[in-house]
């Protein structure tokens, strides 16, 4: 493949070659025009001159032959050999009497190429043309046997008929009369002139061609020198195309190319600034400035290769939800920022500190024993408790729970394994009353959970590497959403499945492992790309189709999420308005600072958003007002018993009324029977989703399932 691309590059036309080809084509065209013009003009001029000479010669032949018609026995008047020898163009001369009989023939060659004798009609025409009062030429010329030419003319004798011959004072006073006494014909050969002209044109063409070749060589050298600065830019441009930004743009004395070079330098500087900014966004949390989850995992992997001991601390703030719910998003952001600053002051310069997500922080300290690790955890707990955080004159305690995983406790430690251990220990600390630290000491149940998560992680990594092989890997299912106003189904929710050995696993089984081991960003991107590709194909049959795609909380930690989505939409030709992104309340509120800018950018491009599972999470109307979403999906727990529960009916009706006032549309999940569907229609709900409308299927419009789905606790009929 590499050699083929190399050959393709080599076979492409270069600028110098194209300019030279254009120059050669233009020169050849101009040369052909010049040679043709020279040939035509020369031929025309020579022929015109020869015609003039022919008229002169035939006139002289008439004068020379006039005496012969007086006395035909005296041929001395017709000694034409000397005359003919002086003009090689005259091949023969022939005289006719008034009866049209040839009376004399003289030729400069032994076997002249004679025209047939003149006919009676031609004699009559020549006789009329000899009349002094006649208009036109006195001669007749025949060019039908080019290059042999015949020119003929009447031979006349002029006599004086005036009565005043002796009394006239001037010659003009005498009256004369011309009498035709015979005819003369000349045969002329123009072939020599044509041959000489052709030879001259050939010589001139050769000289002109040589001149063109010389000019071509000179032009080639001149063009190469002129475009050499552009050629010099090719290598820097190739390096930039490969992603190398440390390039030097060669200077040029040409103003235009120098301007291009300066523009290229500016572009490289801007790209370098953008890449630096994007790299920082991808590697560092924009709110706290700490290492982001993915960058932390990469750095942790490198450190584990270099150290044999160390401790991983999983730090989770206690009751952080209370701060967000009570004082708002700005207060929550300020608390996280101050906690990050406090942790920076507590750790050593070489320690690895990051924000794992939401209100979770993670710290790795190398070359540390178990007692020292416990001492570090106690120091963090003490400092957080003793020094409250301040926001607009409000004081917050920053108690936290800490889970500790020691590198020594794992035979082959990996970042994912340590994080999983520390996470389990942190949950254990919370279950024991919070504001404490616990070291990971696994029991059989915990180890089984961890082993299961690691297995799911390995399966997901394989599935994310490429296409599905032998019926194993990730795939999408599609569940229809009905518009209650007219019963139309143009919306489908996209649901991800993991297939293995003909068995389909729901996301509730494998996505927790993806979240724990930092694979959700890759899963989100896979789902987005696969769904948009499928939508592009489906819209060829039904241009009104719309897909709803679920986004996890990790999606908004991807600084390039919106860029990725818009790139896939542009590449596939799917309009942005055909995609609805679904996010949960917890995701929207927990990642508010990261989510809102990304949502707004995608919304500006035309995408729409829905809040999923509304009513079970924070249920904060203030957040709902600030989130730029168009749809509210009412959680299925309020829909299951809607037909028989007055409480659920009141809650759903209130949500529908609030959504209507805010200009948002509502979708009811878990619609499983006609009675429930009738109730939500009467309440003014816009859309219905559930097994009554249709089960998730591997293709749009299909009604059969090709693989069994493993049931899980709490599985929802919404997919």
> Where residue 712 falls among pLDDT bands split at 50, 70, 90?
very low
Contact 90, 187 (CB under 8 A): yes
pLDDT digits (tens, 9 = 90+) for 43-94: 677 777 778 888 888 888 887 777 777 766 655 555 666 777 777 788 888 8
pLDDT digits (tens, 9 = 90+) for 549-600: 998 877 777 778 888 999 999 999 999 999 999 987 666 555 666 677 888 8
pLDDT for the residue numbered 396? 72
Give the three-state DSSP class for 123: helix
Confidence bin at 277 (pLDDT 50/70/90): low
Does residue 467 surpass a pLDDT of 70? no
Q: What is the pLDDT of residue 707?
A: 33
Q: E strand or H helix at 157, and its extent?
A: strand 148-160
What percent of the chain is predicted at pLDDT more than 70?
81
For every residue of 459-492, DSSP letters joined together read HHHHHHHSS-BTTBEEEEEEEEEEETTT--EEEE
Q: Which residue has the higher pLDDT, 177 or 354?
A: 354
> What pLDDT, in 10s, does the model give residues 431-442?
888 889 999 886
**Nearest partner of 631 among 654, 662, 588, judged by Cα:** 662
pLDDT value at residue 705 = 36
C-alpha span between 571 and 690 (Å, rounded): 32
Mean pLDDT calculated for residue range 516-528: 86
In the chain, DSSP finds a helix count (H) and a strand count (E) of 21, 22
Q: 15 pLDDT band (50/70/90 cuts)?
A: low
Task: Report CA-CA distances (Å) from 135 to 130, 177, 188, 482.
Answer: 10, 17, 25, 102
pLDDT in the model for residue 645: 92
Q: Say how far apart CA 481 and CA 493 lie, in whole Å.
A: 7
Peptide bond before residue 193 is cis, with ω within 30 degrees of 0? no
DSSP letter assigned to residue 292? P
Could you tell me which of 226, 250, 220 has the C-alpha nearest to residue 237?
A: 250
Average pLDDT over residues 372-386: 90
DSSP assignment string, 512-569? HHHHHTT-HHHHHHHHHHHHHHHHHHHHHH-TT-EEEEE--GGGGG-TTHHHHHHHHH
Record the tokens describing residue 484, joined without a space. Answer: 């209650």
Strands 139-145 and 148-160: antiparallel
**Could you tell me how far CA 478 lies from the centroid of its own chain?**
31
In the sheet that 352-357 helps form, which strands lie side by side, from edge to edge? 352-357, 360-366, 310-317, 400-406, 437-439
- Report the chain's mean pLDDT, rounded to a whole number: 80
Higher-scoring residue by pLDDT: 269, 507: 507
pLDDT at 218: 79
Whether the CB-CB separation of 65 and 77 falls below 8 Å is answered with yes
pLDDT at 349 > cutoff 70: yes
pLDDT, one tens digit per residue, over 134-144 is 777 888 888 88
Closest to 694 (Cα-Cα) out of 714, 665, 719: 719
Start-to-end C-alpha separation, the chain: 44
Residue 357 host element (H or E): strand 352-357
pLDDT classification of 333: cutoffs 50, 70, 90: confident
Cα–Cα distance list, 230 to 262, 589, 599 (Å) = 13, 54, 43
Does 11 have pLDDT greater than 90?
Answer: no
Mean pLDDT of 686-711: 70
526, pLDDT greater than 80: yes
Q: Which of 312-321, 354-363, 453-462 has the lowest mean pLDDT?
A: 453-462
Q: Is it the case that residue 166 has pLDDT exceeding 60?
A: no
Going 201 to 203 to 204 to 206, the CA torsion angle's sign is positive
SS3 string of 80-119?
Answer: CHHHHHHCCCEEEEEEECCCCCEEEEEECCCCCCCCCCCC
Per residue in 380-439, pLDDT (tens digit) is 998 888 777 777 777 777 789 999 999 887 767 888 888 888 988 998 898 888 889 999
Q: What is the pLDDT of residues 168-223, one digit of tens each?
A: 556 566 666 778 888 989 888 877 777 777 777 777 778 877 877 787 777 777 77
pLDDT tens, residue by residue, 220-264: 777 777 777 767 777 777 776 666 667 777 776 667 667 777 777
Q: State the pLDDT confidence band at 627, using cuts at 50, 70 and 90.
A: confident
pLDDT tens digits for range 630-672: 999 998 999 999 999 999 999 999 999 999 998 999 999 999 9
Residue 322 in this model has a pLDDT that exceeds 90: no
For 475-500, how does the pLDDT look when each residue is reduced to its tens digit (9 = 90+)?
999 999 999 999 999 999 999 999 88
């Amino acid at each position: 493949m590499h050699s083929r691309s190399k050959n393709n590059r080599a076979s492409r036309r270069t600028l110098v070659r194209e300019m030279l080809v254009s120059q050669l084509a233009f020169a050849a065209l101009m040369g052909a025009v010049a040679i043709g013009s020279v040939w035509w003009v020369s031929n025309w001029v020579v022929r015109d001159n020869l015609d003039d000479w022919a008229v002169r010669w035939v006139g002289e032949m008439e004068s020379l032959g006039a005496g012969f018609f007086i006395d035909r026995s005296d041929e001395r008047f017709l000694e034409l050999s000397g005359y003919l020898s002086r003009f090689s163009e005259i091949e023969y001369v022939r005289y006719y009497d008034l009866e049209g009989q040839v009376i004399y023939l003289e030729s400069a060659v032994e076997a002249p190429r004679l025209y047939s004798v003149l006919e009676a009609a031609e004699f009559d025409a020549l006789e009329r043309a000899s009349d002094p009062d006649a208009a036109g030429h006195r001669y007749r010329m025949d060019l039908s046997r080019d290059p042999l030419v015949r020119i003929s003319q009447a031979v006349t004798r002029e006599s004086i008929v005036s009565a005043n011959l002796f009394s006239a004072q001037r010659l003009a006073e005498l009256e004369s009369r011309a009498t035709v006494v015979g005819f003369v014909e000349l045969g002329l050969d123009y072939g020599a002139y044509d041959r000489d002209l052709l030879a001259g044109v050939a010589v001139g063409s050769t000289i002109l061609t040589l001149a063109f070749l010389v000019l071509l060589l000179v032009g080639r050298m001149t063009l190469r020198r002129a475009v050499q600065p552009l050629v010099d830019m090719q290598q820097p441009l190739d390096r930039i195309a490969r992603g190398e930004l440390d390039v030097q743009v060669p200077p040029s004395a040409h103003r235009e190319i120098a301007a291009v070079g300066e523009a290229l330098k500016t572009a490289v500087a801007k790209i370098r600034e953008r890449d630096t900014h994007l790299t920082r966004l991808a590697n560092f949390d924009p709110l706290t400035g700490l290492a982001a989850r993915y960058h932390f995992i990469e750095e942790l992997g490198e450190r584990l290769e270099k150290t044999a001991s160390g401790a991983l601390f999983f730090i989770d703030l206690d009751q952080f939800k209370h701060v967000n719910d009570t004082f708002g998003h700005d207060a929550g952001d300020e608390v996280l920022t101050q906690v990050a600053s406090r942790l920076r002051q507590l750790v050593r310069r070489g320690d690895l500190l990051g924000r794992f997500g939401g209100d979770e922080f993670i710290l790795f300290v190398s070359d540390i024993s178990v007692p020292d690790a416990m001492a570090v955890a106690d120091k963090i707990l003490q400092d957080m408790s003793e020094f409250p955080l301040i926001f607009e004159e409000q004081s917050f305690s920053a108690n936290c729970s800490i889970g500790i995983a020691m590198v020594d406790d794992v035979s082959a430690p990996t970042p994912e394994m340590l994080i999983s251990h520390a996470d389990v220990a942190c949950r254990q600390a919370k279950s024991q009353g919070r504001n404490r630290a616990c070291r990971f000491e696994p029991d059989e149940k915990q180890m089984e959970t961890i082993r299961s998560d690691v297995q799911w992680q390995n399966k997901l990594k394989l599935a994310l590497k490429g296409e599905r092989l032998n019926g194993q890997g990730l795939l999408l299912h599609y569940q229809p959403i009905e518009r209650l106003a007219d019963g139309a189904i143009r919306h489908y929710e996209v649901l991800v499945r993991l297939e293995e050995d003909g068995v389909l696993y729901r996301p509730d089984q494998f996505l927790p492992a993806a979240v724990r081991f930092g694979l959700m960003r890759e899963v989100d991107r896979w789902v987005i790309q696969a769904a948009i590709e499928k939508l592009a194909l489906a819209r060829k049959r039904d241009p009104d189709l719309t897909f709803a795609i679920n986004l996890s909380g990790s999606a908004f930690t991807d600084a390039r999420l919106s860029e990725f989505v818009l790139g896939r939409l542009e590449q596939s030709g799917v309009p942005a308005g055909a995609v609805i992104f679904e996010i949960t309340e917890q995701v929207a509120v927990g990642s508010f600072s990261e989510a809102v800018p990304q949502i707004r950018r995608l919304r500006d491009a035309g995408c729409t958003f829905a809040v999923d599972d509304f009513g079970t999470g924070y249920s904060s109307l203030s957040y709902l007002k600030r989130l730029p979403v168009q749809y509210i999906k009412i959680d299925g727990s309020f829909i299951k018993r809607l037909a028989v529960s007055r409480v659920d009916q009141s809650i759903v009706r209130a949500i529908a009324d609030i959504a209507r006032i805010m200009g948002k549309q509502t979708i009811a999940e878990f619609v499983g029977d006609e009675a429930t569907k009738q109730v939500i229609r009467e309440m003014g709900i816009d859309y219905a989703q559930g097994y009554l409308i249709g089960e998730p299927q591997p293709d749009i419009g299909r009604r059969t399932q090709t693989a069994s789905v493993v049931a899980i606790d709490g599985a929802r009929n919404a997919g």
